[in-house]
Amino acid sequence: MSDKVFVSADEVARKAGVSRSAVSRTFTPGASVSEATRRKVTAAAEELGYHVNQLARGLMRNESGIVCLIASDVATPYRSALLRELTLQLQVAGKVTMFVNTDRSDGSVDRALHQAIRYRADASIILSGLPDKSITQLCLRNGQRLVLINRDDDQPGPLRINLDDRDAAGRVVSAFLRAGCTRLAFANSEAGTPSLMAREQGFIAVAKEHGLDVIVERYGWTGYEAGKIVAQRMLTRKERPDAVFCATDLLACGFMDAARHQFSLSIPDQLCIVGFDDIEQASWTSYHLTTFAQPVDTIAREAVTWLVDGRKDTPDGQSLKLHADLVWRGSVRGG
Amino acid sequence: MSDKVFVSADEVARKAGVSRSAVSRTFTPGASVSEATRRKVTAAAEELGYHVNQLARGLMRNESGIVCLIASDVATPYRSALLRELTLQLQVAGKVTMFVNTDRSDGSVDRALHQAIRYRADASIILSGLPDKSITQLCLRNGQRLVLINRDDDQPGPLRINLDDRDAAGRVVSAFLRAGCTRLAFANSEAGTPSLMAREQGFIAVAKEHGLDVIVERYGWTGYEAGKIVAQRMLTRKERPDAVFCATDLLACGFMDAARHQFSLSIPDQLCIVGFDDIEQASWTSYHLTTFAQPVDTIAREAVTWLVDGRKDTPDGQSLKLHADLVWRGSVRGG
DNA sequence: GCAGCATTTGCACACGCTTGCAAAAGCGGA
DNA sequence: TCCGCTTTTGCAAGCGTGTGCAAATGCTGC
């Protein structure tokens, strides 16, 4: 670690023959500098390889330009897509993403938020888990804005972005009925995430309105393997369902593979399937899955705009409920 | 933006009835503080909700604790898996990840590195693209360590981690020959990434040693759709190949789907296929793809340990060549 | 040349922290 | 009680930047 390596504004000022304030102002948009000095400064800066020290600037301005992204299971198709979109939009908004990978253990999110505070992040976006109330308060008290995505929480302050899962569930029932299905089922994991549970309960409720019971099966963590196992359990029942709504596309992919290769069922002729998320694999020929598209870009846009130009006018974030479009492919009869 | 929100070490010191230095030392591992004062300080800090300002600390220590991760196509299965592993390992090493999403345009990586410099990142890890030599020099001159993953570059300074692609290609040829295949092909994209080209050239070279020509087809960007199109082109040729090595698992998945559903070919009976990366989907029942596993954890471990405890002893990073294991599944005869 | 004004410049302080250095405190033995 | 020693503590100088304020400069119209 060789010391004294970075060139500072002082050195630039000396080389350009101006004061250090002039250098500072040159790199501060909207500050008052004459065109002549600005040119001298930029020339000297270029030559010396000067770069504003954002640590120092953040210290002064009390605004680091950092936004903290907190998520688990980032290698998952849906998560990584959302992450991609968020970082992209943050970048165009001139923010910098600090990324924290949480596990599913308690306190993991809290630790992440503490890190965000230590680095004086301007805001944090939480995709997984739920922070302790006290930590939330701490963040808000420190002027840090908070966004919760797909986390059902009712404390005021953070912006909460959710999908209308119940509404989506209702549309699945209609689709299944239109396809002539009568034995409905819901495939879920044991994760118990708010959005997962909302889909399950919405589906059951709407089915009941039509006088139908729903077979529910849950297993393990929300992934491909769990989907296969849920399928094995459901399809060995005495009365096997003819339409299943999977809480997630990953579950659906596993379910389809088991249904086809272990039970030799033909989709959608003998079994209709609907997923959720519209991950890339849902469009692959082997699956061609009818599913709900998460409005990833809208989610990201809403989050970022609220964070960035959110001022006094919206101190408390409202609760946003977004609509998920049903993408018709080949896993349900009569699209 | 309500001002004066964060509690500073001064306030903690006042509340605890000690000097500011005592507070600072309490939060500096290895500093000299008596047990009595430490307790007083931590109590006061807890009560006030004090958190060390890393911006200020980084400014003093000239070491921010930030590591910059630079990558494009992050929603891709392989990339997201590598990213996950890297952030995970960086976290246990006590570093913080700053994530920059690049596109495939020129200068995108350079901009990312400039950002890393502005935030005084301790190091940068580059997964995509290649920075301009001048920028590399700038980073190194500023004491910033650099890791290049799967980028073929020969400038000294950065640590370069690569796979032994040629060796892997050789093992594919052997596998195909053992399966009795005679018409070999290589499916690639037009991305021209060093690792992609190394696989292609290695495959061709080894095949030639066995007196075999290789049909090569390239199309578009390295993804599922490109795999389908490459398959359509290859399988409509007068003499259709009976064994194809796909540069990437995504290409292989697309290739398999086209081969099965558009050409009604049976894998591996009529067509053997090998991929590269061992993404999660390769293990799905619909594909069951024989492929090379990227040693993601080893890559991440090597990168992080070199970054973290890399001291004067290894000022210049060496070039690491890692081995990729072949994972036998069902897409090649006679595993 | 000079008053009157708008624009630009430099000074100096602040931001929150670490750390070298010297003074203070603790401690055991005579 | 005092001495020599080790441990702990406080002081103050920095780290690189932004910005209010007053002085300086430039420009326009006499």
Predicted pLDDT at A139 = 83
B150 touches chain A (CB under 8 A): no
**CA pseudo-torsion sign B181, B204, B206, B250:** negative
d(CA A143, CA A153): 20
Helices (H), A218-295: 224-235, 249-261
Q: Sorting pLDDT into bands at 50, 70 and 90, what band is A79?
A: very high
Residue with tokens 């909700």: B49
**pLDDT band at A32; cut points 50, 70, 90:** confident
Cβ atoms of residues B276 and B291 within 8 Å? yes
pLDDT at A313: 52
- The CA distance from B92 to the nearest CA of chain A, in Å, is 11
Q: Does B115 touch chain A (CB under 8 A)?
A: yes
Can you give the pLDDT at residue B152?
Answer: 79
Return all residues near B53 (Cβ < 8 A) that are at least 6 apart.
A59, A118, A120, B6, B8
Which pLDDT band holds residue A154 (cuts at 50, 70, 90)? confident
Q: How far is the CA of B21 from the C1' of C22 (A)?
A: 15
- CB environment A51-81: b (16+ within 10 A), e (fewer): bbbbbbbbbeebebbbbbbbbbbbbbbbbbb
Residue A311: pLDDT band (50, 70, 90) is low
Answer for the pair B8, A142: CB distance below 8 angstroms, yes or no: no
Q: What are the start-end ranges of the H helices in B95-222?
A: 108-118, 133-141, 165-178, 194-209
**Chain A residue with minimum CA distance to B83:** A75
Average pLDDT over residues A239-252: 96
Rounded distance in angstroms from the CA atom of residue A26 to the C1' atom of nucleotide D28? 27
The answer to whether B53 contacts A120, with C-beta atoms less than 8 Å apart, is yes
Among A41-45, A130-134, A157-161, top mean pLDDT goes to: A41-45
Q: Are the beta carbons of B1 and A63 separated by less than 8 Å?
A: yes
Chain B residues lying within 8 Å of A257, measured CB to CB: 284-286
**What mean pLDDT comes out for the span A178-194?**
94
Q: How far apart are CA B135 and CA B142, in angstroms?
A: 11
Interacting residues of A319 by C-beta distance below 8 A, sequence separation 6+: A159, A160, A162
Burial of residue B295 (number of CB atoms within 10 Å: 0-12, 13-18, 19+): middle
**C-alpha to C-alpha distance for A34 and B152, rounded to whole angstroms:** 45
SS3 B318: coil
C-alpha R_g of chain B: 26
C-alpha A141/C-alpha A233 separation (Å) is: 49
Distance between CA atoms of A19 and A5, rounded to whole angstroms?
A: 21
| Distances from the Cα of A204 to the Cα of A38, A176, A226, B15, B22, angstroms | 66, 13, 21, 56, 60
Eight-state DSSP code of residue B190: S
Interface of A with B in 299-318 (CB under 8 A): 311
Split at pLDDT 50, 70, 90, the class of B335 is: low
Q: Name the DSSP letter for residue B262.
A: T
β-bridge pairing B66-71 and A325-327: unpaired
What value does the mean pLDDT take over residues B118-134? 90
Does residue B145 surpass a pLDDT of 50? Answer: yes
For A34-77, how does the pLDDT look when each residue is reduced to its tens digit (9 = 90+)?
899 999 999 999 999 999 999 999 999 999 999 999 999 999 99
* C-alpha–C-alpha distance, residues A168 and A162, integer Å: 12
Strands in B272-277's sheet, in edge-to-edge order, are: B214-218, B184-188, B243-246, B272-277, B290-293, B325-327
Of all residues in chain B, the percent with pLDDT exceeding 90 is 79
- The pLDDT tens digits of the residues spanning B312-323 come to 555 566 889 999
**Is the pLDDT at A266 greater than 60, yes or no?**
yes
What is the phi/psi pair of residue B169, to 5°? -55, -40
Residues with CB under 7 A from strand C: A 18-22, 25, 32-37, 56, 59-60, 62; B 4, 6, 8-10, 20-21, 23-25, 27-28, 31, 50, 52-53, 56-57, 59-61
State whether A118 and B286 contact (CB < 8 Å): no
Which chain B residues have a beta carbon less than 8 Å from that of A224? 280, 284
Instruction: Please tell me the least confidently modeled range out of A14-18, A244-248, B79-83, B324-328.
Output: A14-18
> Lowest mean pLDDT: which of B12-26, B135-149, B172-186?
B135-149
Structure tokens at B118: 């502005």
B280 burial type by CB count under 10 A (0-12 exposed, 13-18 middle, 19+ buried): buried
> Does the pLDDT of residue B4 top 50, yes or no?
no
**Chain B interface includes A263 (CB < 8 A):** no
For residues B271 and B331, what is the distance between their CA atoms, to the nearest angstrom? 8
Q: Report pLDDT digits (tens) over B39-96.
A: 999 999 999 999 999 999 999 998 999 999 999 999 999 999 999 999 999 999 999 9
- Model confidence pLDDT, tens digit, residues B97-121: 999 999 888 788 899 999 999 999 9
User: Is A334 a residue whose pLDDT tops 90?
Assistant: no
The vertex-B145 CA angle with B141 and B149, nearest 5°, equals 130
With 50 as the cut, is the pLDDT of residue A256 above it? yes
Mean pLDDT of chain B: 92
Q: What Å value separates CA B34 and C1' C27?
A: 15
Which DSSP state fits B151?
-
A54 vs B: CB within 8 A: yes
The mean pLDDT value of chain A amounts to: 92
Of B5, B54, B81, which has the smallest distance from its Cβ to A75's Cβ? B81
pLDDT at B2 over 60: no
Q: What are the tens digits of pLDDT across the range B265-307?
A: 999 999 999 999 999 999 999 999 999 999 999 999 999 999 9
Name the pLDDT band for B30 (thresholds 50, 70, 90): confident
Cβ contacts (< 8 Å) between A297 and chain B: which residues?
A: none
% of chain A with per-residue pLDDT over 70: 96
Domains within chain A, CATH numbers bracketed: 9-52 (1.10.260.40), 66-163+296-322 (3.40.50.2300), 165-294 (3.40.50.2300)
pLDDT computed for residue A310 by the predictor: 63
Residue type, B116: A
CA B320 to chain centre: 14
With a pLDDT cut of 70, the percent of chain B lying above it is 96
* Beta partners for residue A99, in sequence order: A69, B97
- Kindly list the residues from chain A whose CB atom is less than 8 angstroms away from the CB atom of residue B101: 84, 87-88, 91, 97
